[in-house]
């Protein structure tokens, strides 16, 4: 992945799971990474460990629901490293429940983080990418952006939206690369936000077969590391033995 060397990649939701694994993987392969999340204690530790291994990294507190915070995150990346090549919109939540449970606050939180957060990332970085004449969005969807299961309707809707928004950006901007990464069941903290007992039992069975977050990081590295004229539009990565 020689095309990764020197690239500046900003990652939301980088304090754990796929975001953390991707930051570590890309830094090892020569990219300069900027980590954003609300848990700055975690970010500080990850950045220190990346730097101890010879990588280049920085972090900033980030709430993707706040548009100005997202703009500040992008500006910070440019101030720190002089440019931004890739923004990975990775932050997400997944509190699953049947619709009849009427967990409306959870619906709104998923809409805010999973959809609005991605749109805020696009709003923050697209003007910069257009000025640069190049840029790359890596937007994290899910296998739930390709199929709907019981208890997952709102979550899946948000992930279908990520696919639709991403394709819209690609169609409208010939100088901006767009990649959708759709993970299958992956080891992460994402499932910890589910409060409905029945949905949690379903989720426990669903997650009996999973892959490590670094497997998704490898897919991101592959997409970001392509030559500038090559855009890998979508990658689905799931466990070999998965039924889903």
**What amino acid positions are annotated as catalytic residues?**
155
- Euclidean distance between CA atoms 224 and 156, whole angstroms: 25
How many CA atoms lie within 13 Å of 59's alpha carbon, on the beta-carbon side? 26
Query: CA 96 to CA 160: how far, in whole Å?
Result: 16
User: What separation in angstroms does the CA of 125 have from each of 78, 108, 143, 220?
Assistant: 10, 24, 26, 18
CA pair distance 143, 156, nearest whole angstrom: 8
3-state DSSP of 17-72: HHHHHHHHHHHHCCCEEEEEECCHHHHHHHHHHHHHCCCEEEEEECCCCCHHHHHH
Coil vs helix vs strand at 9: strand
CA separation for the pair 7, 12 (Å, rounded) = 16
Tell me how far the alpha carbon of residue 84 is from its chain's centroid: 16
């Amino acid at each position: 992945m020689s095309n990764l060397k020197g690239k500046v990649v900003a990652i939301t939701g980088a304090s754990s799971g796929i975001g953390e694994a991707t930051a570590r993987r890309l830094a090892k392969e020569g990219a300069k990474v900027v980590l954003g999340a609300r848990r700055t204690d975690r970010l500080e530790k990850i950045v220190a460990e990346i730097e101890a291994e010879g990588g280049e990294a920085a972090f900033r507190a980030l709430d993707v629901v706040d548009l100005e915070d997202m703009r500040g995150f992008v500006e910070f990346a440019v101030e720190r490293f002089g440019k931004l090549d890739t923004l990975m919109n990775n932050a997400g939540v997944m509190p699953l429940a049947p619709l009849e449970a009427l967990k409306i606050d959870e619906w709104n939180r998923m809409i805010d983080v999973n959809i609005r957060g991605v749109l805020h990332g696009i709003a923050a970085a697209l003007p910069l990418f257009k000025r640069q004449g190049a840029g790359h969005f890596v937007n994290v969807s899910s296998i739930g952006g390709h199929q709907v299961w019981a208890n997952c309707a709102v979550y899946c809707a948000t992930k279908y939206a990520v696919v639709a928004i991403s394709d819209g950006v690609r169609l409208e901007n010939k100088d901006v690369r767009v990649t959708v990464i759709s993970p299958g069941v992956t080891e992460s903290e994402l499932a910890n936000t589910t409060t409905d007992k029945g949905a949690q039992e379903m989720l426990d069975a669903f997650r009996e077969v999973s892959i490590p977050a670094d497997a998704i990081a490898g897919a991101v590295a592959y997409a970001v590391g392509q030559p500038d004229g090559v855009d890998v539009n979508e990658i689905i990565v799931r466990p070999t033995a998965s039924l889903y």
